[in-house]
């Protein structure tokens, strides 16, 4: 993936207010705000076309981005993106400054892998019920992952994977799990199809057939 996707040219804007933002949108610009890092919030303007191209990539939402503000490069995370209710338009963006050595607090997507190779799904008629699509994490900027991988290869029928079962990248902490055992949330469950036999029922059936 091209690093150009994660670099956005931005201009400082001084004309503020709803009217000014409306005029920017009509000119194919996106009003934005950059905050954090012990600095004053900075009002910005970005090119709408570039934003539309970049937001098509999942990693755009969890990657450390570079804002090129009048020749000064600032690292930031996208914290919020507002969209038009029915038009394919981005109406506002919020960015948070990234400071090297200071922990980030953000959400990253979950990728479920090997679902097609899981025996409970492939041969026993089970299906995976995903309980989460993203996870809240803390880490240093250098350790920020684009996603968290959840491997379903060896998950059994009726089994649920919780936060504590996940293998986290080095330097990454799950916010919920850090709150204590009561926050060990369910991530995914492999369930039997409705009306289908459970793994225990299948075993009982095999035993009965053997006895006969």
Q: Is the pLDDT of residue 137 over 70?
A: yes
Q: What pLDDT shows up at residue 5?
A: 67
- pLDDT in the model for residue 199: 46
Average pLDDT in the chain: 86
| 108 Cβ contact partners less than 8 Å away, ≥ 6 residues apart | 62, 134, 135, 137, 144, 145, 146, 147, 148
pLDDT at 22 over 80: no
pLDDT at 9: 92
pLDDT at 23: 62
Going by C-beta distance under 8 Å and a sequence separation of 6 or more, which residues neighbour residue 109?
A: 58, 61, 62, 133, 134, 146, 147, 148
Q: Which CATH superfamily is domain 105-201 in?
A: Ribosomal protein L25, C-terminal domain (2.170.120.20)
Here the tokens at position 140 are: 């240093």
Provide the residue ranges of all domains of the chain, joining segments of one domain with +. Answer: 3-99, 105-201
Mention every residue, 6+ apart, whose C-beta is less than 8 A from residue 51: 8, 30, 90, 93
The 8 Å CB, 24+ separation contacts for 162-167 are 162/186, 162/187, 163/135, 163/187
Class of domain 3-99: mainly beta
Mean pLDDT score, 78-104:
90
pTM: 0.77
| pLDDT(192) > 60 | yes
**pLDDT the model gives residue 75:** 95
Cα(177)–Cα(128) distance, integer angstroms: 22
Yes or no: say if 126 and 190 are a contact pair by the CB < 8 Å rule: yes
Structure confidence at residue 1 (pLDDT): 46
Quick check: 130 pLDDT over 50? yes
- Interval 44-70: pLDDT, tens: 999 999 998 998 899 899 899 999 998
């Amino acid at each position: 993936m091209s690093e150009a996707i994660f670099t956005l040219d931005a201009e400082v804007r001084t004309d503020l207010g709803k009217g000014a933002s409306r005029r920017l949108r009509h000119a194919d610009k996106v009003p934005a705000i950059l905050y954090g890092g012990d600095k004053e919030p900075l009002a910005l303007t970005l090119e709408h076309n570039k934003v539309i191209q970049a937001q098509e990539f999942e990693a755009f939402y969890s990657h450390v981005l570079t804002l090129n503000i009048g020749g000064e490069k600032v690292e930031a995370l996208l914290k919020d993106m507002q969209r038009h209710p029915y038009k394919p338009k981005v109406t506002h963006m919020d960015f948070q400054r990234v400071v090297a050595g200071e922990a980030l607090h953000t959400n990253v997507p979950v990728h479920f892998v090997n679902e097609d190779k899981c025996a409970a799904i492939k041969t026993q008629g089970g299906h995976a019920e995903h309980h989460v699509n993203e996870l809240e994490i803390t880490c240093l900027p250098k350790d920020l992952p684009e996603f968290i991988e959840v491997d379903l290869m060896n998950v059994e029928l009726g089994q649920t994977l919780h936060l504590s079962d996940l293998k986290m990248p080095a330097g990454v902490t799950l916010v919920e799990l850090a709150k204590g055992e009561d926050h060990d949330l369910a991530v995914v469950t492999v369930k039997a199809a409705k009306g289908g036999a459970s793994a225990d029922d299948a075993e009982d059936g095999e035993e009965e057939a053997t006895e006969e």
